Amino acid sequence: MRHSRLLPVFLLCLLAAASARAVSFVSAADAPNATAGLLRELNRGVEEARVIIGIRDGTPTARRLLASPDPEGEPERRVLRVGAQKRLAEEMTPRRFAVKHYYESFSMLAGTATREAVLTLANHPEVAWIALDRQAHLLQTAPQSSQVLIHSDRANSLGITGAGQAIAVIDTGVDYTIADLGGGSFPNAKVIGGTDITDKDSDPMDCEGHGTEVAGVAAGSRGVAPDAKIVAIKVFSSANASNSSCKDTADFSDIYTGMDFAVVNKATFGISVINLSLGGAFEDSLDHGYCDTDEPGSAAAVDAATAAGIVVVAAAGNDAITNQLSVPACVSSAVSVGAVYADNRARVSWCGDDGCATTLCTDQPVSPDGIVCFSNSMSNLSLLGPGAFWSVATKGGSPVSFSGTSASTPAVAGAVALLRQARPELTPAGEIGVLRSTGKPVTDARNGVVTPRVDIFAAVQLAASSFAVSSAPAADIPDGSGSATATATISGFTRPVAAVQAWVEINHPEPEQLRLTLIGPDGTSALLQNLMGVSQHPINAIFGRAEFASRQVNGVWTLRVEDLVPGATGRIKFFGVTLIPLAERPAVTKRSSSSRTPRTLNPRP
């Protein structure tokens, strides 16, 4: 039916999206007074920047005054300084430049400038220099917006920091010499193990920076799980002996070897999650749901790691497509991760794969929990995480802005490490069930898909008695007659129940052949979905139901799935139940009870 072929290699650049980039490149010659940091920011594609401008106002420099103090002359200098600042600000009309601060004591001016204004200022005769207002770097210990968005800072403050957990980063290697990732030699206190698969040595030194940035998001000092350890598994080959650059692609086979290393060494290092911020694309533009059949190697590797108790998180991809996920994110047992913004921005443009000759897509305006336009999406997407913008240390230790589903994926890897610390009894499916059930539903306006954005604080707070997942392996659904079931057992829940959420994942190529029924412990039943859905769009939904509100909730909950049409078969991949206590999370309860429609994560047919 589908004749898709997959690219034989992973293209790192597809998922790195290390930056939003400019519509037009700005060189140092274009902006002679701009600092290198500001040029980099412009070339990430920002439409405006917070800047600080050094002004030539005729007064002596601060250094000269330090050497030769002249307190009597200061009142006059203040007048001169502010006068020059105000003249410049007025010249740069408010549309192009908005003043934030004038400074009486300094020959500087702070404000927000458009790209156009930055270029004008960087060539202005009265401007000595113009620099990026690097506020974030002055607040190194404050949580960054991506941490705040998923509440990992609040979980961390409860002592849930990822202690005792290790995250296997399968990537370009990790720079373990930087202070944020242990410092010194390999292994160290942070990067506790690893290997280099492609260069066939034991030293996983990063050859690009990507893997270092991934590790920083997951387990750096300003990452999600700051006390988690890193196992660095390098699968992109170094282009030279000095590890100063990587080859562009990695073979699937090497990535599987890296996953194998993680599974074999799970107990040695305490690996709870594998991070795959990489992927390959389908060559066609057809709808693709789960890709287990198309990609048996990836399916086998992810299945095996999951069976070993390791959660495998994989980047959804940065191709701005809305009916496919990258490989291996599309594997049904993988936890696929898309990207949302964590900040407000006026406008962000992202580059194409052609070295920024074209713009891939643009978001305008940008706000927290807005889907980033590059983020691949499909009804089998598991979770969303902050993917723009992370401030992390890269190879060599300098701070960079890191974006992409490559960045949102380690945010979820860190969240998994936190949850594993808080609830070590959960299976990988149970952990993802908790993360999904407690996440904030975010709708992708491009395709109608609703996906939970991780809220790790809510996840670690969810009471064990209000959540249960199926512990049985995936169940085959009989084709054309009969039914398959999955069960989840709740016990010890004592509070009044407002609503029930059933999490259902079914891998079936023709979901419109299916009827889904939820049956409570006392026999009360609710039809969740009946002969609806779209071909190649797997069922991956959280159904909120209110008819169980006054019913018995402790006991066995059953999901019954009937396939009413011969031909095309599938499996129940996952079933979990969350009880919503009365007067808690009222928004969810109200929405579910008033509409009585499933809050489905599938696009409507």
Which residue, 171 or 199, has its beta carbon nearer to Ca ion?
Answer: 199
Q: Single out the residue of 568, 585, 591, 599 in contact with Ca ion (rule: CB under 5 A).
A: 568
Q: Which residues contact 296 (CB under 8 A, 6 or more apart)?
A: none
Q: Which of residues 218-247 bind Ca ion (CB under 5 A)?
A: none
Binding window for Ca ion (CB under 5 A); candidates: 127-135, 189-197, 303-311, 551-559? 189-197
Rounded to the nearest 5 degrees, what angle is found at the Cα of 217, between the Cα atoms of 216 and 221? Answer: 55
Closest CA to 272 of 298, 315, 306, 240: 306
Contacts with Ca ion by CB under 5 A: the residue count is: 9
Q: Single out the residue of 19, 379, 437, 513 in contact with Ca ion (rule: CB under 5 A).
A: 513
Q: Single out the residue of 91, 104, 201, 283 in contact with Ca ion (rule: CB under 5 A).
A: 201
562 binds Ca ion (CB under 5 A): no
Which residue, 211 or 223, has its beta carbon nearer to Ca ion?
Answer: 211
Instruction: Report whether 435 contacts 412 (CB < 8 A).
Output: yes
Task: Compute the distance between CA of residue 424 and CA of residue 473 in angstroms, rounded to an integer.
Answer: 20
Which residue, 262 or 335, has its beta carbon nearer to Ca ion?
Answer: 262
- The values of phi and psi at residue 238, to 5°, are -70, 145
Backbone torsion region of residue 545, taken as left when φ is above 0, otherwise alpha when ψ lies between -120 and 50, otherwise beta: beta
Which residue, 176 or 350, has its beta carbon nearer to Ca ion?
Answer: 176
Q: Single out the residue of 30, 479, 512, 547 in contact with Ca ion (rule: CB under 5 A).
A: 479
**Residue 231: how many other CB atoms lie within 10 Å:** 29
* Shortest Cβ 566–Ca ion spacing (Å): 6
Instruction: Report whether 414 contacts 225 (CB < 8 A).
Output: yes
Roughly what angle, to the nearest 10 degrees, separates helices 405-422 and 210-219?
40
* Shortest Cβ 233–Ca ion spacing (Å): 11
Backbone torsion region of residue 85, taken as left when φ is above 0, otherwise alpha when ψ lies between -120 and 50, otherwise beta: alpha
* Shortest Cβ 221–Ca ion spacing (Å): 25
Binding window for Ca ion (CB under 5 A); candidates: 106-114, 258-266, 443-451, 475-483? 475-483
Binding window for Ca ion (CB under 5 A); candidates: 148-156, 349-357, 467-475, 479-487? 479-487
Task: Compute the distance between CA of residue 549 and CA of residue 579 in angstroms, rounded to an integer.
Answer: 9
Task: Compute the distance between CA of residue 214 and CA of residue 173 in angstroms, rounded to an integer.
Answer: 10
Residue 566 burial (10 A CB sphere; 0-12, 13-18, 19+): exposed
By beta-carbon distance, which residue lies closest to Ca ion?
Answer: 196
Which residue, 196 or 303, has its beta carbon nearer to Ca ion?
Answer: 196
Q: Single out the residue of 199, 363, 505, 562 in contact with Ca ion (rule: CB under 5 A).
A: 199
196 binds Ca ion (CB under 5 A): yes
Task: Compute the distance between CA of residue 388 and CA of residue 13 in angstroms, rounded to an integer.
Answer: 16
**DSSP secondary structure of 495-516:** SPEEEEEEEEEEE-S-GGGEEE
Q: Single out the residue of 565, 586, 595, 596 in contact with Ca ion (rule: CB under 5 A).
A: 565
Q: Single out the residue of 116, 126, 203, 294 in contact with Ca ion (rule: CB under 5 A).
A: 203
**Residue 455: how many other CB atoms lie within 10 Å:** 20
Which residue, 199 or 431, has its beta carbon nearer to Ca ion?
Answer: 199
Binding window for Ca ion (CB under 5 A); candidates: 157-165, 188-196, 294-302, 432-440? 188-196
* Shortest Cβ 47–Ca ion spacing (Å): 40
* Shortest Cβ 257–Ca ion spacing (Å): 14
* Shortest Cβ 207–Ca ion spacing (Å): 8
* Shortest Cβ 173–Ca ion spacing (Å): 7
Which residue, 158 or 565, has its beta carbon nearer to Ca ion?
Answer: 565
How many angstroms separate the first and last alpha carbons of the chain?
20
Binding window for Ca ion (CB under 5 A); candidates: 120-128, 274-282, 320-328, 507-515? 507-515
Binding string, 416-435, against Ca ion, x = CB under 5 A?
Answer: --------------------
272 binds Ca ion (CB under 5 A): no
* Shortest Cβ 483–Ca ion spacing (Å): 12
Closest CA to 198 of 157, 155, 243, 159: 243
Which residue, 30 or 248, has its beta carbon nearer to Ca ion?
Answer: 248
Binding window for Ca ion (CB under 5 A); candidates: 150-158, 280-288, 300-308, 506-514? 506-514
Three-state secondary-structure class, residue 458 = helix
Task: Compute the distance between CA of residue 406 and CA of residue 232 in angstroms, rounded to an integer.
Answer: 16
Rounded to the nearest 5 degrees, what angle is found at the Cα of 334, between the Cα atoms of 332 and 338? Answer: 105
Q: Single out the residue of 34, 563, 573, 592 in contact with Ca ion (rule: CB under 5 A).
A: 563
Task: Compute the distance between CA of residue 502 and CA of residue 545 in angstroms, rounded to an integer.
Answer: 8
Give the residues lining the site for Ca ion (CB under 5 A).
196, 199, 201, 203, 479, 513, 563, 565, 568
